[in-house]
């Protein structure tokens, strides 16, 4: 029986979490963790599998014989732009933990804006005891752009909290309890949306879609008079100069941003200091590394047994 192919791991995650997760992963094959200096310059030819997240740009030239590439997260745009991407299946990470973490973040951000948390923080910093007029969730329509697994789960949980939820995707989806729109219904969707949630993959069609022209079409009938923008999809889908301009002009009442055009977010960025903007460092749905390796092991077992891989990315569509 031939030896099983090693697995290359090139993950820009918290190193201690990767190291701990690897302790019990892939027990029957060698793991080449490229974060370990011992593998610097190692010949990676003849290896079938690589698990990547924002990997080194020379990875595919160093590992020319890969049969499957596994993304360390739900997104794959960082892989699709790497030089020398081989013509092999690219598998994205789908797991309950990713879904629940994303939903938690989305619900939290909607509640922070609904309950005017920034305003109360400012009052507390001034030791000022003052009540603000308080709408409830039922007064707010949350519009989610991107109704895949993550968007649908977020919609269900927002509805439990009392928000009215509507959804948009390029092709219409039928989701119980959620009014949905397709590409042709974008303006109608935007016109009802008080809190806009972005959960879109990054494709040529979605690049820069969250811009001033789109924000101008959002509802102005919500309890705060101006809409809120919440994005945990991809930084490339937003035009940050437009977001800043819309906040300055009060076209947007606020924003929550987990993703940015440039990451890490530069220290000089105005987003850090705006009083009505929440910034998180691309952690809305951080991968559970142990769950990731279990997912990869399962897919490798399917592949080596002659079964089709699951969650294979359409490289043309970008997701």
* pLDDT of amino acid 317: 87
d(CA 86, CA 98): 26
Domain boundaries, the chain: 7-95+287-304, 96-279
Percent of the chain whose pLDDT exceeds 90 = 95
Question: pLDDT of 115-139, one tens digit each?
Answer: 999 999 999 999 999 999 999 999 9
Task: Check 62, 113, 234, 295 and give the catalytic one.
Answer: 234
Name residues whose C-beta falls within 8 Å of residue 75's C-beta, 6 or more positions apart in sequence: 92, 201, 202, 234
Question: pLDDT of 243-300, one tens digit each?
Answer: 999 999 999 999 999 999 999 999 999 999 999 999 999 999 999 999 999 999 999 9
Is 3.40.50.720 the CATH number for 96-279? yes
Mean of the per-residue pLDDT values of the chain:
96
Cβ 14 vs Cβ 281: under 8 Å: no
- Mean pLDDT, rounded, for 23-39: 95
- Mean pLDDT, rounded, for 74-90: 93
Question: Is residue 78 flagged as an active site residue?
Answer: no
Q: CA 253, 139, 277: angle at the middle one, nearest 5?
A: 25
d(CA 109, CA 280): 11
Per-residue pLDDT band at 75 (split at 50, 70, 90) = confident
β strands within 115-163, DSSP E: 141-145
- In the block, which residue shows the tokens 């906040």? 247
Assigned fold of 7-95+287-304:
Rossmann fold (3.40.50)
Give the pair of three-digit tokens for residue 104: 């938690």
Question: pLDDT of 172-206, one tens digit each?
Answer: 899 999 999 999 999 999 999 999 999 999 999 99
d(CA 69, CA 67): 7
Cβ 101 vs Cβ 73: under 8 Å: no
* pLDDT of amino acid 1: 39
Task: Check 62, 78, 101, 282 and give the catalytic one.
Answer: 282
For residue 31, give the 3-state DSSP assignment: strand
Instruction: Residue 72: name the closest of 24, 8, 26, 29 by CA.
Output: 8
Per-residue pLDDT band at 78 (split at 50, 70, 90) = confident
Question: Is residue 220 flagged as an active site residue?
Answer: no
- Mean pLDDT, rounded, for 128-157: 97
**Whole-structure pTM value:** 0.91
Over 70: is that where the pLDDT of 2 sits? no
Peptide bond before 3: cis, by omega within 30 degrees of 0? no
Question: pLDDT of 213-239, one tens digit each?
Answer: 999 999 999 999 999 999 999 999 999
Cβ 109 vs Cβ 278: under 8 Å: yes
- Would you say the CATH fold of 96-279 matches that of 7-95+287-304? yes
């Amino acid at each position: 029986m031939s030896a099983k192919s090693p697995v290359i791991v090139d993950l820009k995650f918290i190193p201690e979490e990767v190291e701990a997760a690897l302790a019990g992963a892939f027990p029957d094959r060698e793991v080449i963790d490229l974060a370990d200096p011992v593998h610097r310059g190692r010949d990676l030819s003849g290896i079938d599998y690589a698990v990547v997240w924002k990997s080194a740009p020379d990875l595919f030239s160093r590992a020319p014989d890969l049969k499957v590439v596994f993304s360390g997260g739900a997104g794959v745009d960082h892989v699709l732009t790497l030089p020398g991407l081989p013509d092999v299946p690219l598998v994205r990470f789908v797991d309950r933990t990713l879904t629940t973490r994303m939903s938690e973040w989305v619900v939290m951000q909607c509640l922070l804006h609904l309950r005017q948390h920034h305003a109360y923080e400012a009052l507390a910093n001034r030791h000022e005891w003052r009540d603000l007029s308080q709408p409830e969730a039922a007064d707010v329509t949350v519009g989610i752009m991107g109704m895949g697994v993550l968007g649908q789960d977020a919609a269900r949980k927002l509805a439990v909290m009392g928000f009215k939820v509507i959804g948009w995707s390029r092709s219409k989806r039928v989701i119980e309890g959620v009014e949905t729109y397709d590409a042709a219904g974008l303006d109608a969707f935007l016109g009802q949306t008080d809190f806009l949630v972005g959960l879109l993959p990054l494709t040529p069609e979605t690049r820069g879609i969250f811009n001033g022209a789109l924000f101008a079409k959002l509802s102005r009938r919500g309890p705060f008079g101006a809409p809120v923008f919440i994005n945990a999809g991809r930084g490339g889908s937003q035009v940050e100069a437009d977001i800043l301009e819309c906040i300055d002009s009060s076209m947007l009442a606020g924003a929550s941003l987990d993703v940015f055009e440039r990451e890490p977010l530069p220290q000089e960025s105005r987003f850090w200091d705006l009083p009505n903007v929440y910034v998180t460092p691309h952690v809305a749905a951080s991968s559970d590394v142990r769950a990731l390796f279990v997912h990869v092991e399962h897919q490798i077992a399917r592949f080596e047994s002659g079964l089709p891989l699951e969650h294979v990315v359409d490289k043309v569509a970008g997701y």
